Amino acid sequence: MHALVLRVSRLPRLVRPTQSSSPLLLRLHSTNTLNRTTAAPQPIAATFVSDTEPDEYLRLIFDDHHIWQFHRRPEHPTPLNFFQSHNSSHPVPPKVTGLFNNPDLATPRGFERAANKALCRARLIVERICRAPQNGDAEMRRVVKNLDRLSDTLCSVIDMAEFIRNTHPDREILEASNRAFEELCSYMNILNTDTSMHEVLVQVLATPTLTSTFTPEEHATALTFLRDFQKSGIHLPASQRSIFVTLSDRILSLGRDFTSANPRAVSHARVPPSRLEGVGSAFLKSVVRDDGFAYVSTTPYESTMVLKYAKDAEVRKEVYKAANSATDKSIGVLEDLVRARGELAKLVGKKSYAEVFLQDKMAKGPGMCVTIAISLYVWGYVEGLNMKHGACLLAQFHFFFSQFTTENVQTFLHTLLDHHLPKSRSDLLLLQQTKQRVQQLSFLPTINAWDRDFYINIYATSARPNTRLAPISPYFSLGSVMQGLSRLFHHLYGVRLEPAQTHRGETWHEDVRKLDVICERDGSIGTIYCDLFSRPRKMSNSAHYTVRTSRRVDDDDEAGDLLHGSPPSFFSHGSPPSFFSHGEPVTVEGAGRSIPSRPGRHQSPVVVLTCDFPPTSPTSPTLLNLHEVETLFHEMGHAMHSMLGRTDFHNLAGTRCATDFVELPSILMEHFVHHPHVLALFARHHATREPLPPALLARHVAQDRLFRALDSHAQILMALVDQHYHSADVLKPDFSAVGVWSRLQDSFGTVPNVPGTAWPTQFGHLFGYGAGYYSYLFDHALARRIWKKCFERDPLDRTMGERFRAEVVGWGGSRDAWKCVAGVLGGEDAEVLMGGDERAMKRVGEWGVESY
């Protein structure tokens, strides 16, 4: 999505393809594996953590059903014998409010009111910006600030509605939030092509007496808005700008269809039970119906059970093809989506959507190209050239500039592919030898897509024929993991997580926990809502949602909006509505706090983490496998980026940074999961509180290391198909999404393509991360390097934690990402990376993405 005023608020987790969801691709991870390490396990410290520890209550609100029910009653204080909180020494008075403490959002109709509030305020700010030249230098000096306020005003509703429409269990509220989201996004697309605001911004940037007083953050914010205007075709004639808005709205609608519908053409595979030998009696009983046949669902759980355990290869093939089938409609939606993006790119003078997407990312190419292009653009305005001529100059530089963007991504991906190909072939040979042995063949057989999980399981089982791998999940109760995260953040950054109570109506489900984030230096710095448990109709993927970013608010000058932005006829009743005195459209506990480390008052960031863990029962806590622990660490990495990335401007705060940089802090967090010093903070048996035995960890690590290269190879292929789907080829008459996928599998895959399948219709990241899926691999490589150089020896080192905070997460999006990475790595790496060019991309590809 192109947006003057909108950045990505939802950060979905990397796709971990299983055999049922990806035709190439990976093994089905067992519930007790996915613990990766590159070093031999060290003993885990056996320091016992007393139940009187201050953070014990944090563990209990996630692990103890009865404590949680007590905590949910706002008329009671938090039990002080468990937890001393900055806000829990007195009872919280009963109060009824709306979602996120916004009274408007107590009913579905409130979303319309919230949207109307945002629109009214936004229109005032737009008018104020457009009138700035006639109102003197003081108003011109505020243009960048007011553009950022405009962004925050709209995003405070858009981001909240984006989350609610994907998560809320009430259908009426879900639909109301979706209407608010679409209405404001449509208005935002109109603003993206507003020539009056654009001309004022260019005039500001062309006035040295103004720009000489800009802070670095202010300058970065101004350039962000300028680039967003350019990407939205601001130089186009009015009729074409209108087409841009229409195309943008269509892409939004197609994306919703693509991610919300079930794309499979077959819902079940009908199989005689006698042909399901190997799957286990309990599973078999669960899928057999009254007619005597087994009906295997094509959704992941049941299909992967068959692909992993069923001995009959023909049954596995049938289930595989069904699980990866697609309707003509779902294929059509995918093709319409990528074509619409291709048409939008062509409209703004680009050869492909990938060029549009990549131009402000780390893969953009030499930073000097951006500087020169922007300088020439502003120069054209200063010299009095009309917008058409100025746009021609810019287009010439964009043509040169775009060559670097797409070539850099291809360089990175193919370097990575070359790096991993020998390991992938070695893993594939092991599977071929296993199949040869089981079938007693005289030759090495082909491994088909439906063979992958089956022979991986056989190989893993044969490596430990007489032993059963004990589960590791009893050592990872959800509460213990949350407690461990808080302790880790305290070691690294001096930050901890504290349970907070909620008012009635503040959350969308009774299982949602609210945490305050407390910094030993700055006090309360933000809020995290944790929606971690599965429930009917809830999306199953894990994600981080930004509801509100940090920004400075004491210098907003809201009264100036009425003074400079409202014509006499603006309000139909002659006076502004009373809600203009209420501050932000979405209010979460206050209009700004003082932060000792920054001047002024700042609104605190608010985020939501969603996962799909089994709910806590009255008798047992939720126990996580290692993959789920990694997932929680990953999402908390995003959350901490949002908390620590404090800037004066909404558009640069937290995770509002380059897409191929935003995953770095979260992927780095996954490395911490497996280090003995970190595990010593929280990995204890939920019943006995005994620490995790090192030998058990080592066995799980050894099993998980099997066939890891195939995982990496699969991710590279997914990034390649994403690039192809956003290339110029999509506008060719013979473009076929299924055809592209098939050719890539035949050229680069580890197993043959399966005709009649269309897995990409299930690849939801094609919408949210279109042309940017390479970012996960790119940030994996960066995170691996940072881990090895900075944290592997001592992951609890405060000095390194503060260095990572100062060089990376503390900047949000206000610093060039290459400089951030170079700053934390230092040395010869920094010299290469500072160029941000093809050489830098190749160097990152050479590091590889082997994890942990």
Q: Which residues are catalytic?
A: 635
Using alpha carbons only, give the angle 137, 139, 142 rounded to the nearest 5 degrees. Answer: 110
Contact 841, 406 (CB under 8 A): no
CB-based contacts of 61, cutoff 8 Å, min separation 6 = 67, 68, 71, 479, 499, 513
Decide if 514 contacts 492 (C-beta within 8 A): no
Instruction: State how far the Cα of 154 lies from the Cα of 69, in Å rounded to an integer.
Output: 36
Residue 253 and residue 684 in contact, taking contact as beta carbons nearer than 8 Å: no
Torsion angles phi and psi, residue 326, rounded to 5? -150, 145
Q: Are 842 and 415 in contact (CB under 8 A)?
A: yes
Whole-number Å distance between alpha carbons of 408 and 343? 23
Please, are residues 358 and 401 in contact by the beta-carbon 8 Å criterion?
Answer: no
Helix or strand or coil: residue 799? helix
CA 757 → CA 23, 114, 764, distances in Å? 8, 44, 16
836: left (phi over 0), alpha (psi -120 to 50) or beta: left
Give dist(CA 492, CA 248) in Å, integer: 42
Residue 673, SS3 per DSSP: coil
| Alpha helices (H) in 584-693, listed in sequence order | 626-644, 659-662, 664-672, 676-679
**Separation CA 818–CA 844 (nearest Å):** 11
- Amino acid at the residue 223: L
Which residues contact residue 767 at a Cβ distance below 8 angstroms, ignoring those fewer than 6 apart?
Answer: 255, 258, 259, 337
Which of helix, strand or coil describes residue 58?
A: helix
Ordered DSSP codes for 348-374? TT-S-HHHHHHTTSGGG--HHHHHHHH
Helix (H/G/I), strand (E/B), else coil: 415:
helix
By CB atoms closer than 10 A (0-12, 13-18, 19+), residue 344 is: buried
Q: Does the CA dihedral 760-761-762-765 come out positive or negative?
A: positive
Q: Packing angle between helix 195-205 and helix 367-382, nearest 10 degrees?
A: 100
If DSSP codes are grouped into helix, strand and coil, which group holds residue 288?
Answer: strand
Give the span between the Cα atoms of 74 and 668, in whole angstroms.
37
The β-bridge partners of 593 are 602
3-state secondary structure of 384: coil
* Residues with Cβ within 8 Å of residue 251, at least 6 apart in sequence: 1, 337, 340, 341, 344
Strands 523-533 and 606-613: parallel
In terms of C-beta density within 10 A (0-12 exposed, 13-18 middle, 19 or more buried), how is residue 569 classed?
A: exposed
Three state DSSP letters for 717-741: HHHHHHHHHCCHHHHCCCCCHHHHH
Q: What's the length of the chain?
A: 852
Angle at 15 between CA 471 and CA 34, to 5 degrees: 20
Of the candidates 307, 328, 326, 327, the residue with the CA atom closest to the CA atom of residue 318:
307
**Parallel, antiparallel or unpaired: strands 551-552 and 598-603:** antiparallel
Let me know if 133 is exposed, middle or buried by CB neighbors in 10 A (0-12, 13-18, 19+): middle
Distance separating alpha carbons of residues 227 and 355, to the nearest angstrom? 13
